[in-house]
A = this chain, B = another copy of it.
């Protein structure tokens, strides 16, 4: 097949990890006889520096006509001034909204070789394999907000969590379909004992599951309880669907479980158009340009892109299997190594995955 892939390297270690993912995609192209065309565009801090805009128009229009988008990372201390006119995160929020990427898929998988690096004790974390599905274009992130200045100099600020039937339906469907392909268990997380927006979420989610996915094992958990269960019994969950804000908090909490964020990819999907794929780790400015960043999460994000946006299941599996066997062989980047294990550079790790392919 022929596919156009937009690369958004971004800031910090972004360009280094994207370069390795590109290399792996090229190797897959050669092996399976596909023609991938790559185009690189600006996003985040570097886009602010070069254009004043964290998501310049050429980036957005290239993304719209792409088959898949692979993002490195955005942000860094250079652009962290709270009084700045614009900040790198604004580019992220805008690309999600503009491309209608309403479903953020974040698998949290544990690997045996990392278990003893987890902050959790082995008995608690072993066997954990969760797929979070976070609503990404609604809720309190995008509802009306306001700032009122009063005569006495004080202020009142508000941010509104809004959900409509349709928004809940479509993201719950994505989660339920994923649960069907996995173990058949789905958990919806809300705060329906307090929030009106959560009560609608709960009602719609229950109806969608009951009417369209009656075979799923379905349950509902309050967000505060879920924050506990993620620590005390993470291995009991399969697919977990929740709103934008709760998903932001819970997926980050969950990202601590495997013992490294260096192997965790994420996919943001819309109803049509390209998906956006990225590692969940940040731009790690402290190790940028040292050649030691771990490219595997980005390489695994590229595999998700092949699966979800290009429908190349076999090719996606091939990448995942290659990463797996590279890790089994003991190859480690600095962040994954324990004690005095020898480590590979970013480029060497990319090469190892390619030759394993």
Contact = CB atoms under 8 A, between A and B. Distances in A.
A141 B231 CA distance: 25
A146 B225 contact: no
Tallying the copies of this chain within the complex gives 2
Contact of A163 (B157, B193, B227): B157
Interface string A38-54: 00000000000000000
Interface stretch (A64-72, A248-256, A268-276): A248-256
Contacts of A231: 119-120, 231, 253, 256
A219 interface: no
A82 B206 CA distance: 12
Given A121-B121, A228-B253, A232-B256, A89 B194 contact: yes
Given A228-B256, A231-B231, A253-B253, A154 B145 contact: no
Contact of A161 (B155, B161, B202, B252): B161
Interface in A55-107: 82, 87, 89, 93
16 contacts: A82-B202, A87-B193, A121-B121, A140-B140, A147-B199, A154-B166, A156-B164, A157-B163, A157-B164, A157-B199, A158-B162, A158-B197, A159-B161, A161-B161, A228-B256, A249-B249
The 5 lowest CB-CB distance pairs between A and B, nearest first, are A157-B200, A154-B165, A145-B196, A227-B253, A224-B252
